[in-house]
Amino acid sequence: MSGNQAREQAIAYITNREPKQSKMPESLSKIWAKDVFNLAAMEEALSKNAFKAMKNTVQTGAPLDPATADVVAAAMKDWAMSKGVKFFSHIFYPMTNITAEKHDGFIITNSDGNAITEFTGSLLIKGEPDGSSFPNGSLRMTNAARGYTAWDPTSPAYVMHTDNGSTLMIPSVFMSWTGEALDKKIPLLRSNAAMNKSATKVLSLMGEVEIAPLNSSCGAEQEYFLVDENFANSRPDLLLAGRTLFGAPPAKGQQFDDHYFGAIPARVQVFMQDFEDKLYHLGIPAKTHHNEVAPGQFEIAPYFEAANVAADHQQLLMTLMKSTAKQHGFLCLLHEKPFAGVNGSGKHVNWSVGNATQGNLLDPGSTPHDNLNFLLFCGAVIRGVHLYGPLLRAVIASAANDHRLGANEAPPAILSVYLGEQLESVFNDIKAGKLLEKAKGGLMDLGLSQILKFERDPGDRNRTSPFAFTGNRFEFRAVGSSQSVSGPLVAMNTMLADSLDWIAEKLEVALANNDKTTAVILVLKELMELHGNVVFGGDGYSSEWHSKAVEERGLKNIPTAAEALPYFKDKAIVSLFERTGVLSPKELLSRFEVYAEQYILSIEVEAKLVKDIATTRIYPAAIKYISEISATNASLTSAGIGLNKESLEKLVALTNTMMTAVSELSTAIDEHGFDSVEAHMTFCAKTICPLMLEVRAAVDSLEGIVTDEYWPLPKYQEMLFIK
Ligand code: ADP
Ligand code: MG
Residue 189 has pLDDT above 50, yes or no: yes
**Contact between residue 342 and residue 295 where contact means Cβ atoms under 8 Å apart:** yes
Out of 223, 276, 297, 304, give the residue to mutate to test ligand 1, the one with the largest number of ligand atoms within 8 Å of its CB.
Answer: 304
Burial of 514 (0-12, 13-18, 19+ CB in 10 A): middle
What pLDDT digit, counting tens, does each position of 274-293 carry? 999 999 999 999 999 988 87
Give the whole-angstrom CA distance, residue 489 versus residue 194. 12
Q: Of all atoms in ligand 1, which is nearest to the CA of residue 363?
A: 23
What single-letter DSSP state applies at residue 663?
H
The strand pairing partners of 476, in sequence order, are 349, 467
Give the whole-angstrom CA distance, residue 473 versus residue 359. 12
Give the whole-angstrom CA distance, residue 222 versus residue 480. 9
Q: What is the CATH number of the domain that holds 338?
A: 3.30.590.10
Cβ count within 10 A of residue 651: 20
Give the whole-angstrom CA distance, residue 403 versus residue 665. 19
Same domain, 682 and 657: yes
Q: Which of 598, 614, 640 is the last residue of a domain?
A: 598
For residue 217, how far is its CA from the centre of ligand 1 (angstroms)? Answer: 10
**Contact between residue 376 and residue 508 where contact means Cβ atoms under 8 Å apart:** no
- Is there a domain that residue 46 lies in? yes
Using a 6 Å cutoff on CB, does residue 383 contact ligand 1? no
At residue 362's C-alpha, the angle toward residues 357 and 363, to 5°, is 75
Residue 346 has pLDDT above 80, yes or no: yes
Give whole-number Cα distances, 10 to 6, 94, 228, 700, in Å.
6, 37, 9, 22
Give the whole-angstrom CA distance, residue 530 versus residue 387. 10
Residue 437 has pLDDT above 70, yes or no: yes
Same domain, 539 and 622: no
Cβ count within 10 A of residue 144: 14
Q: Which residues contact 163 (CB under 8 A, 6 or more apart)?
A: none
Give the whole-angstrom CA distance, residue 276 versus residue 405. 30
Between 98 and 180, residue with greater pLDDT: 180
Range of the domain at 612: 599-721
What number is the average pLDDT over the span 488-507?
98
Using a 6 Å cutoff on CB, does residue 723 contact ligand 1? no
**Contact between residue 155 and residue 183 where contact means Cβ atoms under 8 Å apart:** no
Which of 367-371, 389-393, 417-421, 703-707: highest mean pLDDT? Answer: 389-393
What number is the average pLDDT over the span 116-143?
74
Residue whose Cα lies nearest atom 2 of ligand 1: it is 221
Nearest Cα to Cα of residue 94 among 125, 143, 129: 129
Residue 106 has pLDDT above 50, yes or no: yes
Using a 6 Å cutoff on CB, does residue 487 contact ligand 1? no
Using a 6 Å cutoff on CB, does residue 448 contact ligand 1? no
What number is the average pLDDT over the span 543-565?
93
> According to the model, what pLDDT value does residue 3 have?
58
Using a 6 Å cutoff on CB, does residue 261 contact ligand 1? no
The strand pairing partners of 221, in sequence order, are 348
The strand pairing partners of 216, in sequence order, are 353
Same domain, 261 and 320: yes
Q: What is the 3-state secondary structure (H, E, C) of 99-143?
A: CEEEEEECEEECCCCCEEECCCHHHHHEECCCHHHCCCHHHCCHH
Between 454 and 24, residue with greater pLDDT: 24
Out of 297, 470, 473, 479, give the residue to mutate to test ligand 1, the one with the largest number of ligand atoms within 8 Å of its CB.
Answer: 473
- Is there a domain that residue 391 lies in? yes
Q: What is the CATH number of the domain that holds 71?
A: 3.10.20.70
Burial of 27 (0-12, 13-18, 19+ CB in 10 A): exposed
Same domain, 39 and 156: yes
Residue 447 has pLDDT above 70, yes or no: no
- Is there a domain that residue 54 lies in? yes
Same domain, 605 and 592: no
What single-letter DSSP state applies at residue 552?
T
Burial of 649 (0-12, 13-18, 19+ CB in 10 A): exposed
Between 226 and 7, residue with greater pLDDT: 226
Same domain, 154 and 201: no
Q: Which residues contact 708 (CB under 8 A, 6 or more apart)?
A: 4
- Is there a domain that residue 643 lies in? yes
Same domain, 196 and 92: no
> According to the model, what pLDDT value does residue 10 have?
79
Nearest Cα to Cα of residue 589 among 610, 613, 608, 566: 566
Q: What is the 3-state secondary structure (H, E, C) of 44-67?
A: HHCCHHHHHHHHHHHHHCCCCCHH
For residue 286, how far is its CA from the centre of ligand 2 (angstroms)? Answer: 15
**Contact between residue 572 and residue 656 where contact means Cβ atoms under 8 Å apart:** no
Using a 6 Å cutoff on CB, does residue 219 contact ligand 1? yes
- Is there a domain that residue 10 lies in? no
Give the whole-angstrom CA distance, residue 426 versus residue 522. 14
What number is the average pLDDT over the span 159-177?
90
> According to the model, what pLDDT value does residue 258 have?
62
Give the whole-angstrom CA distance, residue 182 versus residue 587. 8
Give the whole-angstrom CA distance, residue 63 versus residue 344. 43
Same domain, 174 and 223: no
pLDDT class of 1 with cuts at 50, 70, 90: low
Q: Which residues contact 249 (CB under 8 A, 6 or more apart)?
A: 340, 341, 342, 716
Same domain, 195 and 296: yes
> According to the model, what pLDDT value does residue 207 have?
95
Q: Of all atoms in ligand 1, which is nearest to the CA of residue 458?
A: 3
Q: Of all atoms in ligand 1, which is nearest to the CA of residue 219?
A: 14
Q: Which of 183, 218, 244 is the last residue of a domain?
A: 183
What number is the average pLDDT over the span 471-498?
96
Q: Which of 598, 625, 650 is the last residue of a domain?
A: 598
Nearest Cα to Cα of residue 414 among 383, 439, 389, 433: 389
Nearest Cα to Cα of residue 716 among 225, 364, 214: 225
Same domain, 49 and 89: yes
| Number of alpha carbons in the 13 Å side-chain half-sphere of residue 241 | 25
For residue 475, how far is its CA from the centre of ligand 1 (angstroms)? Answer: 8
Share of the chain above pLDDT 90, in %: 68
Alpha carbon of residue 641 to chain centroid:
60
Q: Per the structure, how many domains does the chain have?
A: 3
> According to the model, what pLDDT value does residue 394 have?
97
For residue 489, how far is its CA from the centre of ligand 1 (angstroms)? Answer: 15
What 3-state DSSP class applies to 404?
Answer: helix
> According to the model, what pLDDT value does residue 458 have?
47
pLDDT class of 464 with cuts at 50, 70, 90: confident
Residue burial 195-216, b: 16+ Cβ < 10 Å; e: rest: bbbbbbbbbebbeeeebebbbb
> According to the model, what pLDDT value does residue 366 have?
74
Give the whole-angstrom CA distance, residue 547 versus residue 542. 9
Give the whole-angstrom CA distance, residue 319 versus residue 427. 42
Using a 6 Å cutoff on CB, does residue 619 contact ligand 1? no
- Is there a domain that residue 5 lies in? no
At residue 412's C-alpha, the angle toward residues 409 and 414, to 5°, is 175
Torsion of CA 457, 460, 465, 469, to 10 degrees: -10
Residue whose Cα lies nearest atom 11 of ligand 1: it is 219
What pLDDT digit, counting tens, does each position of 288-314 carry? 998 887 889 999 999 999 999 999 999
Question: pTM for this one?
Answer: 0.94
Q: What is the CATH number of the domain that holds 696?
A: 1.20.120.1560
- Is there a domain that residue 27 lies in? no
Phi and psi angles of residue 157, each rounded to the nearest 5 degrees, phi first:
-75, 155
**Longest Cα separation, the chain:** 102
**Contact between residue 106 and residue 118 where contact means Cβ atoms under 8 Å apart:** yes
**Average per-residue pLDDT for the chain:** 90
Nearest Cα to Cα of residue 197 among 499, 582, 504, 497: 497
Same domain, 134 and 215: no
What pLDDT digit, counting tens, does each position of 664-715 carry? 999 999 999 999 999 999 999 999 999 999 999 999 999 999 999 999 999 9
Sign of CA dihedral 373, 374, 380, 383: negative
Using a 6 Å cutoff on CB, does residue 454 contact ligand 1? no
- Is there a domain that residue 663 lies in? yes
Residue 347 has pLDDT above 80, yes or no: yes
**Contact between residue 72 and residue 53 where contact means Cβ atoms under 8 Å apart:** no
Same domain, 294 and 330: yes
